[in-house]
Amino acid sequence: MLLTLRVPRSRLYLGRQQHRRLLASTAPEEAKRQATQHPLQLEINGNTYPTDSWTNVTPKILSHLGLNKHLQRDHPLSIIRQRIVNYFYGAYRNQRGNPLFSVYDKLSPIVTVQQNFDNLLIPIDHVSRQKSDCYYVNREHLLRAHTTAHQVELISGGLDNFLVVGEVYRRDEIDSTHYPVFHQADAVRLVTKDKLFERNPGLELFEETWSGSLADPKRILPSSKCMDQTKQPCHTLEAVKLMEHEMKHVLVGLTKDLFGPRIKYRWVDTYFPFTQPSWELEIYFKDNWLEVLGCGIMRHEILQKAGVHQSIGYAFGVGLERLAMILFDIPDIRLFWSNDSGFLSQFSEQDLQNLPKYKPISHYPQCSNDLSFWLPANVEIDAGFSANDFYDLARTIAGDVVEQISLVDKFKHPKTGKTSLCFRIVYRHMERTLTQAEVNEIHKHIADASVEAFNVQIR
Ligand code: FA5
Ligand code: MG
């Protein structure tokens, strides 16, 4: 059983305004209370959601809703969004010269389990659905974990060339390149036989032998990771190869548009439940290969589900922070959430082609403290206790002064059988030097809250 935060049902209702107010006061006592309790229902963007045993969104996480950094004027994420959109506007035009792609960048990040997973054929037991990986509002709703969640609704609405841009939420480790909220741009392009084979009208999208039967909407494939890069049985090889060629050409074009014509890149075979075949595009940056996007030929069952039977499609998803960190030389992902004018004033959307390099505002020292505790009897890491639960608790209490948390030690006592964990928490303030006394106090609050939330025993 997963150890869940205790949910005293004392507070009946906590609306967005109240959340805001609570967040404004970051008193450690209050933060601790917030991290370990959930109200009976949550009001988010004017909608009321009953909470249940799946609820794990925190006020801190909910405070990111509506910030829309990707739409904030002169923000680096907004600049990247515009570069991607402009590139697609230029790459695909209709006969009248108008852009083919439409852009959706204000869709609500609260989606259903069906949108985020089921519609995309993500197996019912897939790790990405776990409570330890996602922010659930309740068992039916979550904060989208990828912008791909909107695919089916948009295709069902009749769209065939579109981009979706927005923030996504994932419970993840904490370091300078990982933050629980980041931004993605997703795209879908569908083409019919006439378009794809304009120059070869004799060719077909679908195999003659394929029955064309509708996929059973309840059927979700088993969890085995199929790295099989061959085509889906329904498609002809010609159709898949042409689509793959077009998609890779466009995505390499986007990469060169962003990073210059000499950027080194490579394609890596991968697996996504919603595309087959699938690839990741990596670029060579500072002596390392860095994954920037995932893509592939859309599973035909998804199109069928959305009412599209005569097209083949490609889709991709790219992370905006990763692109922006490289393009602007921004060293820490938390800076994207900064309201510091010293940061924001460095970027301008006046000239989208000439992007400045970030100049560090200042560099304050780090301070690192260890926290060791015994898990309760019969509880182990990933069996009753998830490190992500601890990361969230620490972040809720300490906020962005937590720069990094790592599990540095783990052992089982030979006699009691209890598990001991040691987490190293690195503290650093973005705008000033933290004193050791200040850090000790925050650290103590995290320890106290851990005892309360996870029933652990501090060592
Ligand atoms: C996805 O999210 C898929 N939905 C992408 C996709 C869409 C594939 C459509 C096929 C078709 P992934 O989890 O790998 O895949 O994330 C996609 C991109 O988001 C990554 O390539 C990376 O650029 C970015 N990204 C992922 N995790 C993080 C993170 N923790 N921090 C910053 N960027 C991230
Ligand atoms: Mg990936």
pLDDT per residue of the chain (459 residues) written in tens, 0 to 9: 222 222 222 222 223 333 333 334 455 666 555 555 678 999 998 999 999 999 999 999 999 999 999 999 999 999 999 999 999 999 999 999 999 999 999 999 999 999 999 999 999 999 999 999 999 999 999 999 999 999 999 999 999 999 999 999 999 877 888 899 999 999 999 999 999 999 999 999 999 988 877 655 455 454 445 566 789 999 999 999 999 999 999 999 999 999 999 999 999 999 999 999 999 999 998 899 999 999 999 999 999 999 999 999 999 999 999 999 999 999 999 999 988 777 888 999 988 998 999 988 656 888 889 999 999 999 999 889 999 999 999 999 999 898 888 899 999 999 999 999 999 998 988 788 999 999 999 999 999 999 999 999 999
Q: Any idea what DSSP says for residue 356? A: P
Residue 175: per-residue pLDDT: 81
Residues 440 and 449: their CA atoms lie apart, in Å, by 14
Residue 155: per-residue pLDDT: 98
Residue 295: per-residue pLDDT: 98
Pocket lining for ligand 1, CB < 6 angstroms: 146, 148, 172, 178, 182, 184, 186, 272, 274-275, 291-296, 315-319, 321-322
Residue 1: per-residue pLDDT: 25
Nearest atom, ligand 1, residue 172 CA: 30
The residues pairing with 404 across neighbouring beta strands, listed in sequence order, are 426
Ligand 1 pocket mutation pick from 122, 293, 320 by most atoms within 8 angstroms of CB: 293
Q: For residue 59, give Cα distances in angstroms to 23, 302, 341, 428.
A: 7, 34, 25, 22
Find the 213 Cα to ligand 2 centroid distance in Å: 31
Residue 12: per-residue pLDDT: 23
Residues 314 and 312: their CA atoms lie apart, in Å, by 7
Ligand 1 pocket mutation pick from 182, 247, 337, 404 by most atoms within 8 angstroms of CB: 182
Q: Starting from the CA of residue 128, give the closest ligand.
A: 1
CA-nearest residue for atom 14, ligand 1, is 294
Q: Starting from the CA of residue 120, give the closest ligand.
A: 1
Residue 29: per-residue pLDDT: 63
Torsion of CA 196, 201, 203, 206, to 10 degrees: 60
CB proximity list for 73: less than 8 A, separation 6 or greater: 349
Ligand 1 pocket mutation pick from 133, 272, 276, 297 by most atoms within 8 angstroms of CB: 272
**Residue 425: CB atoms within 10 Å:** 24
